[in-house]
Amino acid sequence: MTDRYCVFGHPIGHSKSPAIHAAFAAETGQQMEYVAIEAPLDDFAGAWRAFVSKGGRGANVTVPFKQDAWQLCDQLSDQARRAGAVNTLVLHEDGTTWGDTTDGVGLVADLRRNDVMLEAARILVLGAGGAVRGVLEPLLAEKPRQIKVVNRTAEKAIELAQDFAALGAIEGAGLDGIDGQYDLVINGTSASLAGDLPPLPDSLFADGGVAYDMMYGAEPTVFLAWAQRQGARGIDGLGMLVGQAAASFELWRGVRPAVDGVLDELRSQLQ
């Protein structure tokens, strides 16, 4: 029987994951099926169990179920345990469920692909929600000079930074705590989806600075358009999406697919 995988979300009809994983399977010669499933908001665990009962071997998890997935796992990777969220579920042969988060791996891989230097960099991260929590550990592993997490609610950013303080130089603050210039500014908020821009100083970017938005679209997001007007180089989150998918695929199938061809195809479809 063909191994079955899926992505859970609510809503999920917009997901590009089935197309991405179909391309990965064709590239690597893997026999597998991958579909999108809209899980009920009040019973994610039931949706996972139902999928497993029909031959499911693993899943990706997107909004709003990453914390629900974390809670149902029998085992967690160290990274997922610290992040408090899971975007990849793996069913082991003994029937137990293992969870990991590959969002940060996908982000760092995309930054490297775009020749963004992280070691000794001064990094500003906007937002303190689950999207940011899932990427801080891989970012800190690159040994930046500093990561500052800022959020409209300062206490949330401060608490988040404290959770990761043992891993490197990180601090949290409110939006009024932005000081100096940064080599890399990452927008981890959903403001771009609503066409909003947090109040940011015009002098935010160091020379050669980079702006990265976890969101993506056919046109630059509001944040990227603003950053480019300030002289920064802008990168959207499409490569992060494909990168996290490749890391999940490797966890399931034991082979890491190449991402460039899939990324180019998705980009051409957007445009």
Q: Is 225 annotated as a binding residue?
A: no
Tell me which residue of 159, 231, 237, 230 sits closest to 193, measured CA to CA. 237
* Owner of token pair 């991958």: 34
Show the domain range for 170. 104-236
How confident is the model over 219-246, as a mean pLDDT?
97
pLDDT greater than 80 at residue 1: no
Give the number of domains in the chain: 2
Same domain assignment for residues 111 and 58: no
Catalytic residue of the set 54, 66, 143, 148: 66
Dihedral of CA atoms 117, 136, 214, 66 in degrees, nearest 10, equals 150
By residue count, the chain amounts to 271
pLDDT tens-digit profile of 150-195? Answer: 999 999 999 999 999 999 999 999 999 999 999 999 999 988 777 8
76 and 157 both lie in a single domain: no
Q: What's the CA gap between 135 and 104, in Å, rounded?
A: 4
Is residue 170 domain-shared with residue 54, that is, in the same domain?
no
Residues 72 and 135 in one domain: no
- Same domain for 79 and 176: no
Same domain flag for 183 and 85: no
According to the annotation, is 33 in a ligand binding site?
Answer: no
Does 208 share its domain with 244?
A: no
Against a cut of 0.85, is the pTM above it?
A: yes
182 and 258 share one domain: no
CATH classification of the domain holding 221: 3.40.50.720
Rg (CA), the chain: 18
What is the pLDDT, as a whole number, of residue 2?
84
Q: Are residues 178 and 204 in the same domain?
A: yes
Q: What is the pLDDT of residue 137?
A: 96
| Residue 102 marked ligand-binding | no
Check whether residue 109 and residue 230 sit in a common domain.
yes
Question: Higher model confidence: residue 70 or residue 131?
Answer: 70
Give the pLDDT confidence of 71-129 residue by residue, as tens digits.
999 999 999 999 999 999 999 999 999 999 999 999 999 999 999 999 999 999 999 98
**Closest by CA position to 134, among listed 183, 85, 172, 90:** 85
Question: Active-site residue 66, yes or no?
Answer: yes
The answer to whether residues 131 and 213 belong to one domain is yes
Q: Is residue 146 a known part of a binding site?
A: no
Interatomic CA distance for residues 31 and 19, integer angstroms: 15
Does residue 219 sit in the same domain as residue 143? Answer: yes
Q: Say if residue 143 carries a ligand binding annotation.
A: no
Give the CATH number for residue 262.
3.40.50.10860
